Amino acid sequence: MSDYADDPGPRDACGVFGVWAPDEDVAKLTYYGLYALQHRGQEAAGIAVADGRTVLVFKELGLVAQVFDEVTLASLSGHAAVGHTRYSTTGSSTWENAQPSYRSSRGGNAIALGHNGNLTNTVKLAADLVDTGEGRIRATTDSDLITAMLAAHPGPTLEDAAMAVLPQLAGAFSLVFCDTSTLYAARDTHGVHPLVLGRLGGNGPDSGWVVASETAALDIVGAGFVREVEPGELIVIDAGGPRSRRYAPATPHGCLFEYVYLARPDTTIAGRSVHATRVEVGRTLAREAPADADLVIGVPQSGVPAAVGFAEASRIPYGEGLVKNSYVGRTFIQPSQTIRQRGIRLKLNPLRDVIDGRRLVVVDDSIVRGNTQRALVRMLREAGAVEVHVRISSPPVRWPCFYGIDFATRAELIASSASIEEIRESLGADSLAYVSLDGLVAASRQPAETLCRACFDGVYPVPLPHTDHLGKYLLEDVVDEITVGMNGADPSPDVDSVVRPR
């Protein structure tokens, strides 16, 4: 589903990237890794670099290319780095909440952390921190809370702290973090969101190591895929290479929506190509919900592979009926009301000579509120479409996500209260159909019991707290100042270690 001013689509929490490579320019590698993960977060970007003595963090609101330039990257020198692109699912979109987050530990070591996901026991963790001593934490994110817990732990090493802190965290987290010497990666026991390990420079003793949210980021920086970080696993990377620690048993529930929308098509998750999954979903849609039409078109980008599969299975020709403006991304300039009313054209415009006089099957990845599809159907009819049959390559999204996707609230999800026929009528389409949940699961080629499908069926694999303890701004509402014992030290970021552009 495309992201427009009046109907933001589902947004993933973040993308994380880390590299340990003493013989490489780790800042530039991280920059390109974040570029590959830009789709996972477009509110802020940041890089932390460790050089054996210090950790320096540079972060700012905006896209990766807006935040970093050659001069900035040249100033970030070291042997290890952590990078992050952010969509906010806990805490406002502010500079303070941008990542990597930074803390000084009790022993005086520096810690920088990037987090993809969302914790479900944030309020309890925050209350526990309040009871531990003195100090202040001013950022209002679950990610900063994790960093503070690691920094507050009395263990002699960050590895000891991680082994104690990680079992306390509930919800979804794919973490990449570092101290002055060592890179770490960890994944929640359910493995909700992906995290992979790659190798730079072959199998020699000078190999570097990369961890990233998606395999596509490994490809971009020239790293070979080694394996996924396992659910419930902590990986420690230093001069001896990676070491694995198991902090809790695995109970896999990977996010099914990663295959639908979140991940890049050139990524592989649990051994299954995202692109191949989307094409197969399109074939399934054609079998489950055929249409009598002249042309199949996809809504760029994530609707296109499913449209190709639908055309293949239905033997209806596939065509490019919508042109996407690739240069329209996140903008800080709000459109006028006139443009907002026709905001879909900021990113998509119809090819009239392709559409005029045709009966269309239009394949999109999901419907959240329905505003985007409503505008799309109207636009296609204005371009001359005789019929518009909408096909959706995911089941109806009826439940919000609490594990790191910034969906609308349940009241705002059109499928939570309206029937398919009512939604069709609201969109103005001639027909509407969604792929079945069984069909989507089959296309992913993952066992159903190892997938999180909560946004489709309301079954949440990680227990949820009371609704008062859920929500994007809960830390801002509940915790004004969180205090943490640091042997008298103030754990707020050192201005010499966290740089804000001027």
Residues 6 or more apart in contact with residue 347 via CB below 8 angstroms: 2, 3, 4, 324, 325, 328
- Phi first, then psi: give them for residue 173, nearest 5 degrees: -155, 125
Is 302 annotated as ligand-binding? yes
Do 46 and 59 form a contact (C-beta atoms < 8 A)?
yes
On whether 178 is known to bind a ligand per the annotation, the reply is no
Between CA 114 and CA 498 the distance in angstroms is: 14
Q: % helix / strand / coil in the chain, to the nearest 5?
A: 30, 25, 45
For residue 56, list its beta bridge partners: 49
Token duo for residue 81? 């780095």
Q: What string of DSSP letters covers 94-155?
A: -TTT-SSEEEE-TTS-EEEEEEEEEES-HHHHHHHHHTT-S--B---SHHHHHHHHHHH--S
Token look-up 């009528």 returns 425
14 catalytic per annotation: yes
H/E run at residue 215 = helix 215-221
Which residue bears the tokens 């909700």? 192
Tokens for 268?
């592989």
359-364 and 295-298: which strand pairing?
parallel
Does residue 143 have a known ligand-binding role? no
Contact by Cβ (8 Å): 171, 465: no
Measured CA to CA, the distance from residue 75 to residue 61 in angstroms comes to 19
Which of these is catalytic: 14, 149, 196, 236? 14
Q: Would you say 255 is a known binding-site residue?
A: yes
In sequence order, what DSSP letters do the residues of 301-325 get, joined into one string?
TTTHHHHHHHHHHHTPPB---EEE-
Identity of residue 23: D
Is 292 annotated as contributing to ligand binding?
A: no
Q: Please state the residue numbers annotated as binding site.
A: 255, 302, 364-365, 401, 452, 455
Q: Please state the residue numbers annotated as binding site for [4Fe-4S] cluster.
A: 255, 401, 452, 455
Task: Give me the active site residues, please.
Answer: 14
Q: Please state the residue numbers annotated as binding site for Mg(2+).
A: 302, 364-365
